[in-house]
């Protein structure tokens, strides 16, 4: 009898867990769809801003601008702006991001670079700090529905550190949301605008074919003024889009993880029911045998 009571308690516990994970799955699915819409709407605009900046800047017209001058800073420090999940229960996404960041860091350190990190997302910041990585700033409190005002402190920090030559280059690492079941960590160079650096990481402008540079353009008032206006907008859009992609990936990963947990709970519940029925049948059989033996 005690064994039956124990199985009943386990069945009740599994049912309660199934209800919780199913509710979390539904919430994640709802928020994922909204985050997916925001990420999809901003992606084309973000790419167009970068293409426009490359069209204006790549070539001799930008040789005087620090954002395009690869020799502007002699610092060997690389600033990594890392976007990651804010909470747990997101399946393998946090682990995949951490492995990707460490792979990128390992490659940069092998080239003699020093790494500094700005983290956006509680999980990655804690993991990197605990492993001895220098996390100079953390913006884990950023909203899941960010505005440009939320992004501006990050972009201001990045721009100031590059202009003051505290860092020699800046990269952004985030999870690129492709569809609800596919999201991959990517690393892209933000500053400086160097095609050779672009080609080493996940950037669609690796060969410069997307940015058609023409010497026939006449810029008013001048190319430098246009770049000064475009670069802050470029940094904001890149950071903003990275945050949207990360949020969409997080909810997608959580939805899949909770669906898997719900399915596992259902399977375990069925298995426990079979075990319960077998145990109950064995107990009844034993009781009947005892009654028959007593009668005899």
Q: What percent of the chain has pLDDT over 90?
A: 13
Residue bearing the bigger pLDDT, 55 or 278: 278
Among 139-143, 153-157, 199-203, 230-234, the least confident range: 199-203
Cβ neighbours of residue 238 under 8 Å, at least 6 residues apart?
46, 50, 172, 188, 190
| Model confidence, pTM | 0.81
- Domain layout of the chain by residue ranges: 27-254
The encoded tokens of residue 46 equal: 């973000």
Residue 114, SS3 per DSSP = strand
Q: Is a pLDDT exceeding 60 seen at residue 77?
A: yes
Element (H, E) at 191: strand 182-191
Q: Which helix (H) or strand (E) holds 238?
A: helix 223-295
pLDDT given at position 57: 64
Count of positions (residues) in the chain: 296
Which residue reads 């500053």 in tokens? 191
- pLDDT given for residue 210 in this prediction: 44
Report yes or no: 98 and 133 within 8 Å, Cβ to Cβ.
no
Residue 214 has, within 13 A of its CA and on its CB side, a CA count of 8
What's the CATH number for 27-254?
3.40.1380.10
Give the residue from 49, 159, 173 showing the smallest Cα distance to 100: 173
Q: How many CB atoms lie within 10 A of CB 141?
A: 9
Determine which helix (DSSP H) or strand (DSSP E) holds 86, and give its type and residue range.
Answer: none
């Amino acid at each position: 009898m005690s064994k039956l009571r124990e199985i009943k308690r386990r069945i009740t516990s599994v049912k309660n867990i199934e209800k919780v994970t199913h509710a979390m799955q539904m919430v994640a699915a709802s928020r994922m769809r909204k985050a997916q819409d925001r990420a999809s709407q901003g992606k084309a605009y973000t790419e167009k801003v970068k293409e426009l900046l490359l069209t204006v800047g790549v070539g001799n017209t930008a040789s005087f601008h620090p954002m395009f001058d690869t020799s502007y800073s002699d610092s060997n420090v690389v600033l990594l702006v890392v976007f990651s999940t804010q909470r747990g229960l997101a399946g393998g996404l946090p682990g995949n991001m951490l492995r990707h960041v460490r792979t990128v860091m390992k490659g940069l350190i092998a080239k003699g670079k020093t790494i500094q990190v700005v983290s956006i997302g509680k999980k990655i910041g804690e993991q990197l700090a605990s492993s001895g990585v220098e996390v100079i700033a953390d913006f884990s409190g950023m909203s899941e529905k960010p505005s440009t005002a939320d992004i501006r402190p990050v972009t201001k920090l990045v721009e100031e550190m590059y202009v003051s030559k505290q860092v020699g280059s800046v990269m952004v690492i985030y999870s690129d949301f492709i569809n609800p079941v596919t999201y991959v960590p990517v690393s892209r160079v933000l500053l400086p605008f160097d095609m050779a650096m672009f080609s080493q990481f996940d950037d669609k402008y690796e060969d410069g074919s997307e940015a058609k540079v023409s010497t026939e353009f006449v810029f008013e008032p001048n190319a430098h003024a246009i770049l000064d206006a475009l670069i802050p907008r470029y940094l904001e859009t890149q950071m903003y889009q990275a945050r949207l992609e990360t949020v969409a990936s997080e909810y997608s990963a959580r939805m899949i993880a909770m669906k898997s947990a719900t399915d596992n709970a259902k399977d375990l519940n069925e298995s426990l029911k079979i075990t319960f029925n077998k145990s109950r049948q064995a107990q009844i059989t034993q009781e009947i045998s005892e009654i028959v033996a007593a009668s005899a």
